[in-house]
Chains A and B, each alone.
Chain A
């Protein structure tokens, strides 16, 4: 009796993930790149919750909890790195920090 098919939710997750990936590739400001990473992690969690809700299991929500804690850890370390980059280079441009020629 699913009135909205599952692939609609997965399509939304895919669109959000693609938007986050586009932002990550296009923007050169480190803060915007971190924000795009947040969008991508959120979209991945949305796909898990949609699948778990479709089958009536709680496992999808638990995986979202793990993704949530991982995103919190990632963003705290990332923002501390942003502070260090700004102190050392006086800029937030990701290309200006490529000392390793990566």
Chain B
């Protein structure tokens, strides 16, 4: 299990370094998704399977899809076809694919050999998390829902396309 932790940590650091040094936004997003997936593997190894699933679904799924949509919306216009052709040149997918293949091999190894968590024997189950979340932290859940509602209204207001003439 320790080997899985260290390999996932190395993959996380390497993909984060590659993500913040890319010049192209889509290439950086590919490496950033690999970084989040490797952190999800780290979560699974240290005994937090619920958080690992949430990391994959919310971070690598929803938030990264938001980024991809915005990058695609911003690249409409001139020379978009040339840029698309440049992005699709073969070879750019090799780096993220290798890192993702390492993570897939790690997950297959973890599934094949069920063991205990790295820290002691305590895997914190989703049931335990839910009991504590809706017990002492109930007010935090309510505050988070109000924060998300505020973010929804704010994003709708800011992202609305208003013509310049109507503004005084």
CA distance A31 to B154 in the complex (A): 18
CA distance A76 to B64 in the complex (A): 11
**A31 adjacent to B67 (CB under 8 Å):** yes
Q: Residue A29 contacts which of B17, B25, B118 (CB distance < 8 angstroms)? A: B25
- Please tell me if A2 contacts chain B, counting CB pairs below 8 Å: yes
CA distance A79 to B120 in the complex (A): 41
Residue numbers of B with Cβ under 8 A of A are 1-2, 5-6, 9, 12-13, 16-17, 19-20, 25, 28-29, 32, 35-36, 39, 42-43, 46-48, 50-51, 54-55, 58-59, 62-63, 66-67, 70-71, 73-74, 117-122, 124, 128-129, 131-133, 137, 140, 144, 147-148, 150-152, 154-159, 161
- CB contacts (< 8 Å) of A49 on chain B: these are 43, 46, 48, 51
CA distance A29 to B70 in the complex (A): 13
- CB contacts (< 8 Å) of B67 on chain A: these are 31, 34-35, 75, 79
CA distance A27 to B28 in the complex (A): 12
CB B47 to nearest CB in A, in angstroms, measures 5
**A19 adjacent to B132 (CB under 8 Å):** no
22 contacts between A and B (CB under 8 A): A4-B46, A12-B9, A16-B35, A22-B20, A23-B19, A29-B25, A39-B20, A53-B119, A58-B131, A58-B132, A60-B48, A61-B124, A65-B133, A76-B66, A76-B151, A77-B155, A77-B158, A79-B67, A81-B158, A83-B70, A83-B74, A86-B74
Contact with B along A13-27 (1 / 0, CB 8 A): 001100110110011
CA distance A90 to B66 in the complex (A): 20
Residue among B63, B66, B148 with most chain A CB within 10 A: B63
Lowest 4 A-B CB distances belong to which pairs? A73-B151, A23-B20, A80-B158, A80-B159
Chain B residue at minimal CB-CB distance from A92: B74
Q: Residue A3 contacts which of B35, B74, B118 (CB distance < 8 angstroms)? A: B118
- CB contacts (< 8 Å) of B144 on chain A: these are 65-66, 69-70
**B47 adjacent to A16 (CB under 8 Å):** no
Chain B residue at minimal CB-CB distance from A29: B25
**B121 adjacent to A35 (CB under 8 Å):** no
**B58 adjacent to A20 (CB under 8 Å):** no
CA distance A54 to B120 in the complex (A): 8
Chain B residue at minimal CB-CB distance from A38: B63
**B5 adjacent to A53 (CB under 8 Å):** no
CA distance A6 to B120 in the complex (A): 11
